[in-house]
Amino acid sequence: MISDFFSNMFSSQRRSKNFRNFWFGQCLSVIGTWIQRTAQTWLVYKMTGSALLVGILSACQFVPILFLTLIAGTIIDRFPKRNILLLTQSGFLVLGAIMTALVYFRVVRYWEILLIAIGYGIFQSFDTPARQSFVFELVGPKDLLNGISLNSSVFNLAKIVGPSIAGILMAKFSIAACFLIDTCSYVAVLIGLFFVQNVPATIRTAHKNVIRDMKEGLHYVIHTPAVRLSAELMLIVCTLEFNNSVIIPVYAKTVLHSGAQTFANLMSAVGIGSLAAAFTMSYRSKDGISRKLYLIVTLGTVIAQSLMIFVHTYVMALVMMIIIGFCNMIFLNQSNASFQYSVPNELRGRIMSVYVLLNQGTTPLGSLYVGAIMDVTSGIWGFPACGLLAILCLIPVVIDQKKLLRQWFATGR
């Protein structure tokens, strides 16, 4: 019984040594990334005391994705994804080293942090869609959903461990230590990629121009009903419901009247919910996509964030963060699967670039919106302002797509 449980949960790792090497390499690297993100957010809020300026920081990291990721998708379809990932991860390492030096020598300025965030965003525009589509090449169609779920578990384990480590490092040592560990962590994923060998890369050989390639990917998304509805849901939910790094530090300070450790703990609570969801989806991956579950967690996250207006205690905040993290993770997992299933291999990089655009590229809009709301009102309005607006935005989607939505609820497919 237990052996069957783990066999189902880790089926893609069991069948693919390459995916196993890639997965373990990412574990350390992504923990470092979340240490860096937590420390960077707290550093900026400590330096400026402004939720809006924290929102601008988040926007700077994701604006390049808004403009570059569709172009990146056409490039990803033309070159081996492993080579692209080696370049992007090396770029992250260099930026991490620069940030470490600036903070250690106490010469860091807000505008310098913004420039480095833009650099991260540029590399991320290529790294994320390449990594998402690389999973298919490593595990194949049979284990795709399991591979997506386990790949997601890396990032959600990091959401728990990373902020917790960052809180300890900031309290016991210094913020500079957080950036140093992040820099060193990229070595792990580079080693993992080094051991990934003989992957049957899917490379598009008949090239059109970049604009035609982009249009071809967008045409598929718009004219494939299930993918189009997923894209519409992602546009709303990912823009408004994925602003934890902007909202939580302000919420921790102004509502819970606490400091860096509480901020880190709340971020970790989101990660606990997300990790539980990732392992849940990994175990049930043999059952395929569940459209009904997809819709339930969409409603779950917007309602949970709207209800945060009533949460003023630390324990209740931790519980709500776990619920929000759980719903958000299943939402992303099912969105990813919806985009990748039945996609022609030669289009995969471009399709996943649209996924990344919707997942991360629209974040600047949500970050600026919620940062401005909290500066004008207070931290208690961060989550509710996003949740309530998301509910309003979902109404026209429900009206326009009611036939397909009824089918998803009725059949679950």
Closest CA to 393 of 222, 247, 242, 235: 235
**Does residue 255 contact residue 312 with C-beta atoms inside 8 Å?**
yes
What backbone torsions phi and psi does residue 382 show, to the nearest 5 degrees? -60, -60
Instruction: Provide the CATH number for the domain around residue 101.
Output: 1.20.1250.20
Cα(62)–Cα(76) distance, integer angstroms? 19
Domain count, the chain: 1
**Does residue 265 contact residue 164 with C-beta atoms inside 8 Å?**
yes
Residue 204 lies in a domain: no
Cα(54)–Cα(48) distance, integer angstroms? 8
* pLDDT reported for residue 72: 80
Residue 83 lies in a domain: yes
Cα(145)–Cα(142) distance, integer angstroms? 8
* pLDDT reported for residue 143: 61
* pLDDT reported for residue 132: 76
Q: What is the pLDDT along the chain (413 residues), one digit of tens a residue?
A: 545 544 555 555 555 677 777 777 777 778 888 888 888 888 888 888 887 787 788 778 777 877 887 888 788 877 888 888 889 989 999 999 999 999 888 888 888 989 998 998 888 888 888 887 777 777 765 666 666 667 666 666 676 677 778 878 887 888 888 899 889 888 888 888 887 776 655 555 555 676 777 777 778 888 888 888 888 998 899 888 888 878 888 888 888 888 777 887 888 888 788 878 877 776 666 666 677 888 888 999 999 999 999 999 999 999 999 999 899 888 887 887 777 766 776 677 777 777 777 877 677 778 778 888 888 888 889 899 999 999 999 999 888 888 888 888 777 56
**Does residue 162 contact residue 38 with C-beta atoms inside 8 Å?**
yes
Residue 368 lies in a domain: yes
* pLDDT reported for residue 5: 47
Considering the entire predicted model, what is its pTM? Answer: 0.71
Residue 67 lies in a domain: yes
Residue 303: CB atoms within 10 Å: 15
80 CB contacts (<8 Å, ≥6 apart)? 199, 201, 203
**Does residue 364 contact residue 239 with C-beta atoms inside 8 Å?**
no
Cα(47)–Cα(58) distance, integer angstroms? 15
Residue 109 lies in a domain: yes
Residue 3 lies in a domain: no
- DSSP designation for 345: G
**Does residue 348 contact residue 340 with C-beta atoms inside 8 Å?**
yes
Residue 45 lies in a domain: yes
Q: Which domain holds residue 380?
A: 12-195+210-411
**Does residue 371 contact residue 54 with C-beta atoms inside 8 Å?**
yes
Residue 1 lies in a domain: no
